[in-house]
Amino acid sequence: MKQKDRMTMTSLEKVVAKADRTADPDWWRGAVIYQIYPRSFQDSNGDGIGDLAGVTARLGYLEDLGVDAVWLSPFFKSPMKDFGYDVSDYCDVDPIFGTLDDFKRMVDEAHRRGIKVIIDQVLSHTSDQHPWFTESRADQTNPKADWYVWADAKEDGTPPNNWLSVFGGSSWEWDTQRCQYYLHNFLASQPDLNFHCPAVQDALLDVLKFWLDLGVDGFRLDTANFYFHDKQLRSNPPQTRSVAAIDAPRVNPYLRQDHIYDKSQPENLVFLQRMRRLLDQYPGTTTVGEIGDGDRSLTTMTAYTSGGDKLHMCYTFDLLGGAATHAYVEKTLKTFEAGAGDAWPCWALSNHDAVRHATRNLPLTQNPLRQGKLMGALHLCLRGSVCIYEGDELGLTEADLAFEDLVDPYGIRFWPEFKGRDGCRTPMVWEAEAVNAGFSDGKPWLPVPADHLEKAVDRQAGKADSQLEFYKAMIAWRRRSRALTKGSVRFLPSDGDILAFVRETDGETVLCVFNFGQSGAGFPLPEGLSVVSVADVGFGSTLVEGVATVPAESAFIATVK
């Protein structure tokens, strides 16, 4: 059955979906997006795995939190070798998550509550169980023979070049059917699609159209800079610069190469322009690309989102790895803004692939709750859109799991120096006293950490000094401020552990001052500025005679004129 025949929409349904999207075509600019990892959000049927019906049941929580949109990690048919990031059918729901009807109900309910829906799209590679790959590997002359990246062995039988997989080892796998190597940037069971083949591009754009016609409001694009490879298959040179371990852990030899040929190729920009032309046929839809490009990530993000003809926004791993020291945060933000032009970022502090920021920042603080609020305030004041990972609004830390509890192949491969991604994927905690914290009546696919229970939603809701209530207040303040959602940013001179900037637009100016230090600090208001109103989000900052006194690990946020 063809993709477009799987589910049809009536003309009226299409009109309604389009009307919803066009109410505010720029809703994504400055939006607060909440990432849902469906396996871990809410289980509705007791099998221990979260599902789409569970997401629908918890949309009231997200409406109360105040987010503009949700991003759902993959829920498509998959053998789950990489938990959905190995797709075997782009246009159907895996039975563990429900059905296409469940998805439609979830979208309808989200829209009824004023929440947009962004879904993950893993376009760079498929599962080796996808029908496309089954056909492609059959021989070298079939209609899909060039849909994946195939190459002959060298004379000595070794792979065609030195490219390495992000998950460890060579990124080439020998296939005994074709007697050739195929490229995989991740698991060997995730063969890379060949974007140099026009038919592949056409098929993937048809996939996007399928979901757009079902009413989605946009796409998060996994590994968006991995689509194209160097057509000549040139080997990467060794890494000669000192680079941070952003894209991979230090124990992974992937960091020893300068990845100039296996990703971020110039042809990618042309495909992204094709994609944008499709999205422009559905006004009010958006794209957010994931960029993993080492110390070039911010430059790549700028290139991919500038000009208004490619991606709407991107995020990098620059705020997803390591501790958020004052110096690092300031350098990252200023480096991006220096070359950003009209590019639009989407900033994330945590996601399903990174150690939770509450844990990464523990070495910096004596008060984790205060530190969590500081990072939340910074995040929600940044120029760009922001993506909050499920549980960050609760201050959840990385789970410390035993080896026998691991299911992530990445962590199993590099244990114990790198424990993988399971620690940030444990189930959401809803009710501290309920079975499995209210996530499921069955055994969860990953354990519910005991130290997460005290941070459950029911323990924080309505508690004035909780991190959850702080996030609600801060999101509400951001949404009321056009300067914070749409405005420009201008950094101010500051001393010590203070980072300060103003957000400005349409006659509205917001002053944002962040104290990363362990003691209080003063920040004199710039000459000519006076405070109109202060964000009442619980930091306890004061203003006396033109000087804002900001407690340790706190912020001062105010509308000024």
Query: Distance between CA 493 and CA 482 in Å, rounded?
Result: 24
Domains of the chain as residue ranges with CATH: 3-126+198-351+375-383+464-477 (3.20.20.80), 488-560 (2.60.40.1180)
pLDDT digits (tens, 9 = 90+) for 191-224: 999 999 999 999 999 999 999 999 999 999 999 9
Query: Cβ distance 283 to 361 under 8 Å?
Result: no
Encoding tokens for residue 148? 């994946």
Q: In the predicted model, is pLDDT for residue 87 greater than 90?
A: yes
Distances (CA, A) of 480 to 116, 117, 532, 560: 18, 21, 15, 15
Give the predicted TM-score (pTM) of the model: 0.94
DSSP 360: H
pLDDT in tens, 246-273: 667 778 899 999 999 999 999 999 999 9
> How confident is residue 5, by pLDDT bands cut at 50, 70 and 90?
very low
- Which sequence positions are flagged as catalytic? 222, 290
Residues 6+ apart with CB under 8 A from 242: none
- Mean pLDDT value of segment 409-431: 94
Which residues share a beta bridge with 173? 182
Asked whether the predicted pLDDT for residue 20 surpasses 80, the reply is no
pLDDT at 294: 87
Question: Is the pLDDT score of 12 beyond 70?
Answer: no
Q: Is the dihedral of CA 367, 368, 374, 378 positive or negative?
A: positive
CA atoms of 555 and 513, how far apart (whole Å): 5
Confidence band, pLDDT 50/70/90 cuts, at residue 507: confident
Kindly tell me if the per-residue pLDDT of 3 is higher than 50. Answer: no
Q: Which amino acid is at 22?
A: T
Nearest to 495 by CA among 547, 429, 453, 452: 547
Residue 51: predicted pLDDT: 98
Angle between helices 198-213 and 267-279 (to 10 degrees): 30
Question: pLDDT band at 367, cuts 50/70/90?
Answer: very high
Tens of pLDDT along 449-481?
A: 999 999 999 999 999 999 999 999 999 999 999
7 pLDDT above the threshold of 50: no
Please tell me which residue, 411 or 372, carries the higher pLDDT value. Answer: 372
Strand ranges in 64-189 using DSSP code E only, listed in sequence order: 69-72, 76-77, 89-93, 116-121, 150-151, 172-175, 180-183
Percent of the chain beyond pLDDT 70? 95
**Mean pLDDT score of the chain:** 94
Query: How many of the other CB atoms lie within 10 Å of CB of 95?
Result: 9
Cα–Cα distance between 393 and 467 in angstroms, integer? 6
